[in-house]
Chains A and B, each alone.
Chain A
Amino acid sequence: MTTLEQTRTVQDRVAEKVKKVRELYADAPEVGKVALEKGIDALKLELAAATQRESAGRIGARRGKVSELTAIIPLEPGGGKRIRGLLDLLEGNFKGADVVGTLHDMRFVLLDNDTKLFFATAYDGEWDAYIDDFATKIPNSMDILFCNCKGWPGIRSPVIKDWLVSHQLTADAWYVASPNLTVAETKRLEKVGAAVEEFLDKIG
């Protein structure tokens, strides 16, 4: 139940934030200032809905059950060529990622004339458990890909987690369309959906 008082508190909070956004955009380019005024009603809704920031644990943002890992890592000379060649030969096949089982999506992008790797994933739950999963389930694949990064200590190294943390960047904003669905739960729903269709076919 929302009491009148609670409503008022939310409204006050939103009003305060709207004021702050306007201050923030006082010196914005014209296109931004105009958009802010045009979009102010939608923005108020968004501000009212904004929930507490969540963390994936040691580092990274989380929304519901889904977390983000984002890293930008300098590459060894020739590292970009090797990563590209490897991914090219695999034709985008990441069976290893299926084995990990907690990975929603993952991308490898080469930046700045192949001198850096941008690596980003969406995954389930806690950072530490996620890294442990990689280390226990697909250690060789990890070393093959990431040995091309400067200073990669090896997935079995005791300092691997510190090394990863030192290259990871936490997202300032993280959106997930279905924050309550893990990879496993989505798989289950796919099965339920298929079973329901079969069931309806049979009685139909």
Chain B
Amino acid sequence: MATQTSAPPKQDLSVEQKIQQFRELFADAPELGKKALENALHELKSQASDLPPAVESAGRVGARLGKVSELTIIVPLAPGGAKRLRGFLRLLRGNLSQGANKVGTLHNMRFVFFDNDTRLLFATAFDGDWDTYIDDFVAKIPDYLDIIDSAWEGWPGIRSPGAKDYLIKHQITAEGWYVAHPDLTVAETHRLKRIGKAVDEFLDKIG
């Protein structure tokens, strides 16, 4: 993990030291990568010296940038689980908007089957802290979760005290996490949409 390195904290490194580390890191990279690194050094220099808000933790697990966090879970599927879940999602035409809108803190969410339907990848972008987010799911759409997650090998049920441990065990924190609008929650985006509409109406009236 990135946190296990014994190197000094990154913010203490000068830009030149960082560039040196980039080069060391790419010493045994494919030729194409080495060349690209040299081409991009001036961009990297400006990136390394002009830092945006740092990526933080979403709480127990996961990365967060500003107000927006990432959750990435990979689970083994129970026998027959892929068939059932695929069929379920197909009947919904891949649309889970009613339930997801209800949670209210979900920016986006995807379900992807891989490794010949033996594993499922579940990835979301959400607002704030991990524990609160999971609690929201539990409080607002517990049945949905169980319908979907019962395809997962060993899923204990969302009301089980072991549910969060199960999720943490299968969650993998992203090494890189980018969000275009890190200061906008789902609720704030909805508010801005309403303001935008009101302004348009206002301008129409006085126009």
Contacts and interface: CB of A to CB of B under 8 A. Distances in A.
A28 B84 contact: yes
A189 B193 CA distance: 7
Interface in A171-204: 171-178, 181, 183, 186-190, 192-193, 196
A85 to B, nearest CB: 4
Contacts, number: 314
B195 interface: yes
B150 A86 contact: no
Given A50-B93, A51-B93, A175-B97, A193 B195 contact: yes
Interface in A106-145: 106-111, 118, 120, 122, 139-144
A144 B41 CA distance: 11
B176 A141 contact: no
B106 interface: yes
A92 B150 contact: no
Contacts of B36: 139-144, 147
Interface of A: 17, 20-21, 24-25, 27-29, 31-36, 38-39, 42-43, 45-47, 49-53, 61, 63, 66, 68, 70, 72, 76, 78, 81-98, 103-111, 118, 120, 122, 139-144, 147-148, 152, 154, 169-178, 181, 183, 186-190, 192-193, 196
Top 6 nearest A-B pairs (CB, nearest first) are A32-B150, A39-B143, A147-B33, A92-B55, A35-B146, A143-B36
